[in-house]
Amino acid sequence: MNIIENVVGIVIIITLLAVLILRRWKRRAAIEKEKLEEKRAAAHQKKVRDTRLKIIAGRNNTDRKLIDYGSYTLSLREWLTTVIMVGAVFALIGYIFYEKWWVVLIVSLFSLLAPIWRRKKLLNNRKHILNLQFKEAIQSLSSSLAAGRSAESAFKEVASDLRLLYPDPDTYILREFDIINRRVENGDTLERAIEDFAQRSDVEDIQNFADVFITCKRTGGSLVEVIQRTATIIGDKLEIQQDIQVQISQKKFESQILNVMPVAMVLLLKVTSGDYLDPLYDWNGAGPIVMTVCLMLLIGALLLGQKIMNIEM
């Protein structure tokens, strides 16, 4: 009887394990399928966007170079500066945690991945700057339209206002409004010029504005009222984003301090009580493994903190 009960118990356990494994496998397969579909969709969107940018470049009848705000290429100076600075930090961390020059060299090689992070950060910063400048431009446009000017004249007036606000002729929004005005002067339509700018900007607010502007221009809607409403919405959105950044700025600073403190403590103990840490640098024992685990935990905490603080709207 005991043998039968044991056999039944084993069969039940195996069945439950098989069901759990099967469910986990199905869930993983569904997740992988979803990721594959997302990659395909992203690749398709990139292909469509590249095609549109080629068409836009072909329609450009001005002498100004068009900027693709959806991509960023690091210059040689930016690439070298990023690799050298990050490599120096990684080398210091490698020496603090391992005290082996060959390990320091291996850790420093990870700085070659830093330009990827740097490019993404510079890309997002450029979009953010363009969005802030666009907010000023659309407020000026709203005032010009309310004064009774036509859309074409209003855009020229906005360009003049922007030159007073941004003396640098290479300012992003000033370049774009100059391109729009020159295209209109060369016989292109204002709607197409704005649509091309919105496509290149890769900024949601600018794309929404272009859709609203083109729709009102074609259907004969109240352009002044719509532009004023759009300017208010974009301004409120940017103010909310700035308020959020102000609220979490202290937490970001605290997170950075907490990430630096463990490394600083190890360095302090290394300088003041080197014998105390000798077991952690003994490659014949488990010391380097412990240091590697601690370093991985610090890196995980850093990445988690950045993900938590990255609030998008």
- Write out the two tokens for 153: 């004249």
Residue 276 belongs to a domain: no
Residue 261 belongs to a domain: no
Residue 171 belongs to a domain: yes
- Is the pLDDT at 312 greater than 70? The verdict is no
DSSP codes, the chain? -HHHHHHHHHHHHHHHHHHHHHHHHHHHHHHHHHHHHHHHHHHHHHHHHHHHHHHHHHH--SSSPPP-TT-----HHHHHHHHHHHHHHHHHHHHHHH--HHHHHHHHHGGGGHHHHHHHHHHHHHHHHHHHHHHHHHHHHHHHHHTT--HHHHHHHHHHHHHHH---TT-HHHHHHHHHHHHHHTT--HHHHHHHHHHHH--HHHHHHHHHHHHHHHHT--HHHHHHHHHHHHHHHHHHHHHHHHHHHHHHHHHHHHHHHHHHHHHHHHHH-GGGGGGGG-TTTTHHHHHHHHHHHHHHHHHHHHHHH----
Q: Are residues 213 and 99 in the same domain?
A: yes
The CA distance from 186 to 202, in Å, is 25
- Write out the two tokens for 136: 């000023």
Q: Are residues 82 and 51 in the same domain?
A: no
More confident residue, 209 or 285: 209
> Which pLDDT belongs to residue 81?
92
Q: Are residues 32 and 157 in the same domain?
A: no
Burial 112-131 (b: 16+ CB within 10 A, else e): eebbeebbeebbeebbeebb
- Is the pLDDT at 6 greater than 70? The verdict is no
The stretch 193-210 carries a mean pLDDT of: 87
Which structural domain range is residue 123 located in?
76-247
Q: Are residues 90 and 234 in the same domain?
A: yes
- The pLDDT > 70 percentage for the chain reads 90
Q: Are residues 92 and 237 in the same domain?
A: yes
Residue 311 belongs to a domain: no
Contacts of 123 by beta carbon, 8 Å cutoff, 6+ apart: 70, 71, 72
Q: Are residues 40 and 92 in the same domain?
A: no
Instruction: Note if the pTM is more than 0.85.
Output: no
- Is the pLDDT at 63 greater than 70? The verdict is no
Q: Are residues 53 and 87 in the same domain?
A: no
Residue 304 belongs to a domain: no
> Which pLDDT belongs to residue 84?
92
Residue 139 belongs to a domain: yes
Q: Which of 227, 247, 267 is the last residue of a domain?
A: 247
Q: How many domains does the chain have?
A: 2
Q: How many residues does the chain have?
A: 313
Q: How confident is the prediction for the chain on average, in pLDDT?
A: 82
Per-residue pLDDT tens over the stretch 114-157: 899 899 999 989 998 998 888 888 888 888 888 878 888 888 88
Task: Name the band, by pLDDT with cuts 50, 70 and 90, for residue 9.
Answer: low
> Which pLDDT belongs to residue 10?
67
Q: Which of 206, 227, 247 is the last residue of a domain?
A: 247
- Is the pLDDT at 313 greater than 60? The verdict is no
- Is the pLDDT at 85 greater than 90? The verdict is yes
- Is the pLDDT at 285 greater than 90? The verdict is no
Q: Are residues 116 and 200 in the same domain?
A: yes
Q: Are residues 34 and 125 in the same domain?
A: no
Q: Are residues 176 and 206 in the same domain?
A: yes
Mean pLDDT is lowest, of 16-20, 54-58, 71-75, 127-131, for 54-58
Residue 15 belongs to a domain: yes
Q: Are residues 80 and 53 in the same domain?
A: no
More confident residue, 48 or 148: 148
- Is the pLDDT at 94 greater than 60? The verdict is yes
Residue 184 belongs to a domain: yes
Task: Name the band, by pLDDT with cuts 50, 70 and 90, for residue 1.
Answer: low
> Which pLDDT belongs to residue 5?
65
Q: Are residues 51 and 159 in the same domain?
A: no
